[in-house]
Structure 1
């Protein structure tokens, strides 16, 4: 699906154009990350943008039993079988740790040890992603603008800054061929108490300071992890007190869960484009005044890339297209 939207005809500058590829909520899936990098080359984009939630959610202990055998979720496998399983885990976004019996027993009783195993897996995966990106894009000079989402621990900022190909800086304004891009990864409170959540009034205060640095809102790109409230981008299942989806008449009940502060900032400043994620099941685009807002959705655990190709020309959004593959 390709949609064409025009802003002010008199503001068009045909000498300024930009091709962007945006994705979000990869959650440690190697397959999705590799597809995204390759798609950037195929579509000949000027920049890649990742909207946050790059860290995975699950770590699987693998017990080394010796004699070329391993216990994986109560199933005994050989090393060759394990290698195949590890490839599947990487595709799904599942971290793993190979432990001796003693290490497993100690970690199973020690929350701090579990946290350290998780941190090690997250950092090692991100280091591998950096290497993949640098190798595959070295001849293309395509920058990757990236931000952390609500599921990402803050220490990942330091890891990302180790690579020049990743452009990271929450709240900083980056110039991109005359366009200004800013990122922000905190979300309004969720039932899961994730790493990066804030009250709406705090989000609004943060964003007010951030967007005040922008010189020209008509060519501004907001890479904000949470989608704006009450749009096609923020529909999620309504949950009961046990965090289970509410079903009525055999259908799951949906509700709007996006950020009211992000919507308010967009209404007030009227940027050219809003790029959002966070709500995996709510792929879509919408308009807030003249601002186009997009959420590509996510099916990371299936190894499917959800992305959006956006073509900008002057103060126009010339076209945008969802990509699934």
Structure 2
């Protein structure tokens, strides 16, 4: 691929929540070449999602046998295109060393809690953790803010009771769990859960999402930085989910955007937000925030293409190869 170098043009294609769909990865590469992008950015949940008994092994195998070879081939054929990616809340942290091997080989750059230079003017950084929610895997879950730590602990403990309880206790515990969620400010529903699932592999430290993003922001100039944050800002068009239109985003992320006003934030996590709201973008003050949505279960790629020098011309695409 021959690419025209122009400092006043830097085009990014952004997608998220591919969940190991090979068709979507191939579609992503195809569109990237067609649009002559400078960078590909993938905002988390990059590995297969299933209820397999050995999901850790499934994800490890995907990284080694599918993901690394795909990006190796793409980088060899398109050396001028830089790929940035990170894990999300459905990707097991224990497999991170295998992604780090790919980064060391130069196939892509990992984003979580790192700042990279896009070009001489702009930076990009990432953050993969999400607030506590009713999902079995807890590797990428953290308290949202210090104010909610105690309540989040109670909520998480109640969820663990719920997934292990006897049938006759279920309705009572579900009611108690939903009440705790509502106290946290989430009008949420109970997701399908599987008692054979793994609750946690990696224990997170005691910092909050609020702490981490503040720390990350100190390493760069927010007004000249693209922040890739898996959790969308709370109470926006970008964090709505089925079946009841609940908002599942991060209050810490919302507060960070309102306070620091970064140039652009890229999100995911709430797959159906675009389908429900019809909006892939929301402007908060001077900040443009984006969630393209995900249809990984249909192998249909949702992505956003934009030039960092002209965010007004951002476009949303759906692609089915």
What are the residue-to-residue correspondences of 1:283-302 with 2, within 5 Å?
283=274, 284-302=280-298
Q: Secondary structure, in 3 states, of the residue corresponding to 1:120?
A: helix
**Aligned-partner Cα distance in 2 for 1:41–1:52:** 22
Shift of 1:28: 1.1
Equivalent of 2:70, from 132, 147, 150?
132
Equivalent of 2:239, from 230, 234, 242?
234
Shift of 1:138: 1.6
Find the counterpart in structure 1 of residue 92 from structure 2: 153
Q: How many residues align?
A: 240
**Aligned-partner Cα distance in 1 for 2:314–2:25:** 21
Is 1:320 paired with 2:311?
no
Find the counterpart in structure 1 of residue 183 from structure 2: none
Find the counterpart in structure 2 of residue 167 from structure 1: 109
Equivalent of 1:225, from 208, 226, 230?
230
Is 1:144 paired with 2:83?
yes
Shift of 1:125: 1.1
Structure 1 contact 157–168 (Cα < 8 Å) conserved: no
Structure 1 contact 312–319 (Cα < 8 Å) conserved: no
Structure 1 contact 221–273 (Cα < 8 Å) conserved: yes
**Aligned-partner Cα distance in 2 for 1:263–1:235:** 14
What are the residue-to-residue correspondences of 1:49-128 with 2, within 5 Å?
49-58=41-50, 114-115=53-54, 118-127=55-64, 128=66
In terms of fraction of residues, the more strand-rich structure is 1
**Aligned-partner Cα distance in 2 for 1:126–1:38:** 20
Is 1:183 paired with 2:126?
yes
Structure 1 contact 160–166 (Cα < 8 Å) conserved: no
Equivalent of 1:28, from 15, 20, 37?
20
**Aligned-partner Cα distance in 2 for 1:166–1:125:** 16
Find the counterpart in structure 1 of residue 140 from structure 2: 196
Q: Secondary structure, in 3 states, of the residue corresponding to 1:155?
A: helix
Q: Secondary structure, in 3 states, of the residue corresponding to 2:273?
A: coil
Stretches of structure 1 lacking an aligned partner (at least 5 in a row): 1-13, 61-113, 238-244, 246-252
Shift of 1:319: 1.6
Shift of 1:145: 0.6
**Aligned-partner Cα distance in 1 for 2:264–2:61:** 33
**Aligned-partner Cα distance in 1 for 2:212–2:114:** 12
Q: Secondary structure, in 3 states, of the residue corresponding to 2:10?
A: strand
Structure 1 contact 32–303 (Cα < 8 Å) conserved: yes
**Aligned-partner Cα distance in 2 for 1:157–1:144:** 17
Equivalent of 1:212, from 218, 228, 251?
218
**Aligned-partner Cα distance in 1 for 2:256–2:95:** 27
Find the counterpart in structure 1 of residue 273 from structure 2: 282
Find the counterpart in structure 2 of residue 85 from structure 1: none
Runs of 4+ in 1 over 6 A off after TM superposition: none
Structure 1 contact 37–133 (Cα < 8 Å) conserved: no
TM-score (norm 2): 0.71
In terms of fraction of residues, the more helix-rich structure is 2
